A and B are shown apart, each in its own frame.
Chain A
Amino acid sequence: MSAALPLSAASGANALLERLPVVLRDGLLGYLPESLRWIVSGLITIAALLAVFGLLFAYLTLAERKLLGRIQNRPGPNRTGWFGLLQPFADAVKALTKEDIVPREADAVLHYLAPVVLVALSLMGFAVLPFGRLLVPVELDSAVLYFFAAGAATELAVFMAGWASRNKYSLLAAMRALAQLISYELPLLLSFVPVIMLAGTLSTTEIVTAQGGWTLGFLPHWHVLTPWGFAGFVIFMIAALAESNRSPFDLPEAESELIAGHLTEYSGFKYALFFMAEYFGMCALSGMAVTLFLGGWQAPCAFLEFIPSYAWFGAKLLALLFGFIWIRATLPRLRMDQLTRLAWKFLVPLALINLGTAAFWFLTAGWSGPLQLVRWAVAVALVVVPFLLLGRRLTAGVAPRTYRYAT
């Protein structure tokens, strides 16, 4: 985690908390010879990431079960420990002590490799996320590009798992996963192109700094608060749901159709690794959404800046993750054709139009006074009108559904 920005940005009591992780790391490095410092520094970063996101994964599973329970008017797990707080550890022990079964016909090497590769690839995304003002694991000029390349590679591991299992359900699920990837990679990438256009950089830290500052001290300059940014954010989150195989796009592991999809032939800790990878992917994509659209580690109001930047990042991340769980608790699963139709006939055109909106926004940056209102009106119209028109076309002939027997 290199000190990316000058510390002058942080001030007062904030500075201490803000610098604390870096100070701790540098203190540890002080005991080591100069030649070892660079590698140990990297290892500490990796260990910190694994610890933080490992724990987040553990408690995210619990939070998900609790929230789903509450939404279904039941208490959720509450037996292990206080309010069920030890449940993740009980689950981990259970997963570790289970028998690890490899089908006789399976490709043993690939079968073993798939969960490992999946977790490794889904962890790679965290390397370029700016978790705080000073907490950027790796500073890359093309961080966004790297992030989505690593994210797309996880589908390879899913296909590996499906192919190696030698099971029709696993293979079907893997095929679905690939179809889904191809469908949703495009809107996902197109949705944040405006951000890169306007920020003029692929570096995540610079994208976050571009969103700094406030109008009147409380209106943050986050991309999500512009017409094109809002549209981009919504498209990004829909595509992110699909990319992380979450409901309502969880076709690859549709229990009612495919047993457990590509997880069918996995048991014990390998199964847990798949879940870990799913949650890591979800966290990484949410973190990227926070970085690209929600102002990264920036505080929403000027007077709230005393709270350290990584806390703001964490709060925004958790809010998005809550959204993921909320959506999972609400929406039924899409059918394969509905899934691809939504991507190709709706999200991709909207994302393309959004490029034009962003271009308009960029070109009219100099407008002021009443022209500002015109700028907003035109940009909002550019977002809303295509949404309404495309939405009408998308649902024409399929909605509303009539039920002959049920009421």
Chain B
Amino acid sequence: MLGTGLIKGLAVTAKNLVGSYHDPARYTTVEYPEVKPPLPEAYRNFPFLVSESADDPMGTLRCVACQICEKECPPQCIYIEKSKDKKPDAAGKLQIYPTVFAIDTSVCMSCQICVEVCPFDSIKMDQVYEVATPGRYGDLLLNREQLAKSNAYYHQIRPTEAAEVDGRLAAERKAAEEKAKAAAAAKAALPPKPAAPSPAAKLPDESRRSPQGEGGAAKPPAEGAQP
């Protein structure tokens, strides 16, 4: 009969009207500034620099200023200046570090290429979205201090990925240490050979490669085993 559809429709809307008052579960929205819905782990926006410790972010940056990301960045939004000196990194090894590491977030397109090319797992994608600033140019150019965030924060935003990275780094460090020990033992056994120490010294650096460099990480021990 004509009109029954109208009444059915009106009943549906009336049900919603009454239901939304006594059943908050019906709500399709959240009241944003007060309630922030959890982000999916894969959500990404702008990179950040991983530091081992939250207390001394500048001293424990994983970045060694290799500038691969700077060269790979499609919109060219990364600017890096290498240090002249070397500082010990988290593992205690002397490394070059970035004196300037800046990302222009007004240019960055969050493509994640910097993360994929980084051999040191030192740059990762952040999950920030409240990034409005009063300044149009200066405030969107983030410097080293603003970009550095601790590994704990990385664990907080991406637990599975961070755990995987940590496990890999630990395994690589352990392998490097064993390699160094073996090399030292070999050196002690054969003191007159002068060529042996130099590959052994290089090893820890080489072994810190990330999955993209895993082939490289696998090779040095083989090379080191040959001499």
Chosen A-B contacts, 12 in total, with CB atoms closer than 8 Å, are A71-B13, A71-B16, A71-B20, A75-B29, A78-B31, A326-B10, A326-B14, A326-B17, A330-B6, A388-B1, A388-B2, A394-B2
A-contact bits for B6-19, CB 8 A (1 contact / 0 none): 10011011101101
Residues of B within 8 A of A (CB): 1-3, 6, 9-10, 12-14, 16-17, 19-21, 26-29, 31
Inter-chain CA distance A326–B11, complex, in Å, is: 10
Inter-chain CA distance A388–B1, complex, in Å, is: 7
A70 touches B29 (CB 8 A): no
In the complex, the chain A residue whose C-beta lies closest to that of B4 is A391
Inter-chain CA distance A287–B185, complex, in Å, is: 100
Inter-chain CA distance A124–B10, complex, in Å, is: 32
In the assembled complex, the CB of B222 is this many whole angstroms from the nearest CB of chain A, namely: 59
Residues of A within 8 A of B20 (CB): 70-71, 73-74
Residues of B within 8 A of A73 (CB): 16, 19-20, 26-29
CB within 8 Å for A67 and B17 given contacts A75-B29, A75-B31, A387-B2: yes
Task: Tell which of A72, A74, A330, A392 touches B9, judged by Cβ atoms closer than 8 Å.
Answer: A330
Residues of A within 8 A of B (CB): 67, 70-75, 78, 326-327, 329-331, 387-388, 391-392, 394-395
B13 touches A74 (CB 8 A): no
Q: Which 9 A-B pairs have the closest CB atoms?
A: A391-B2, A74-B29, A330-B13, A70-B20, A73-B26, A330-B9, A71-B13, A71-B17, A71-B16
Interface of A: prevailing SS: helix
A331 touches B6 (CB 8 A): yes
Residues of B within 8 A of A71 (CB): 13, 16-17, 20
In the complex, the chain B residue whose C-beta lies closest to that of A328 is B13
A72 touches B28 (CB 8 A): yes
A326 touches B13 (CB 8 A): yes
Inter-chain CA distance A326–B27, complex, in Å, is: 19
B1 touches A74 (CB 8 A): no
In the assembled complex, the CB of B2 is this many whole angstroms from the nearest CB of chain A, namely: 3
Residues of B within 8 A of A75 (CB): 27, 29, 31
Inter-chain CA distance A50–B17, complex, in Å, is: 31
In the assembled complex, the CB of A83 is this many whole angstroms from the nearest CB of chain B, namely: 13
B17 touches A70 (CB 8 A): yes
Inter-chain CA distance A350–B171, complex, in Å, is: 85
Residues of B within 8 A of A330 (CB): 6, 9-10, 12-13
Residues of A within 8 A of B1 (CB): 388, 391
Inter-chain CA distance A383–B25, complex, in Å, is: 44
Task: Tell which of B3, B9, B14, B31 touches A391, judged by Cβ atoms closer than 8 Å.
Answer: B3
Inter-chain CA distance A70–B2, complex, in Å, is: 28
Extra pairs beyond A71-B16, A72-B16 (10, CB < 8 Å): A70-B21, A71-B13, A73-B19, A74-B20, A74-B27, A75-B29, A75-B31, A326-B10, A388-B2, A392-B2
In the complex, the chain A residue whose C-beta lies closest to that of B23 is A73
Residues of A within 8 A of B29 (CB): 73-75
In the complex, the chain B residue whose C-beta lies closest to that of A67 is B17
Residues of A within 8 A of B26 (CB): 73
Residues of A within 8 A of B10 (CB): 326-327, 330
Inter-chain CA distance A388–B29, complex, in Å, is: 42
